[in-house]
Structure 1
Amino acid sequence: NEGESEEGITIQGKLTPQRVELIKSIATRNKEDIERKFPDLLKPIKKEEPIKETKSKEKK
Structure 2
Amino acid sequence: MSKALLTTEERKLLERAINLMEELVETLEVMQDEELMEDLKEALKEIKEGKVKSLSELMDATSLR
Q: TM-score range by the shorter chain?
A: 0.3 to 0.5
Instruction: Give the TM-score taking structure 2 as reference length.
Output: 0.37
Q: Select the structure of larger CA radius of gyration.
A: 2
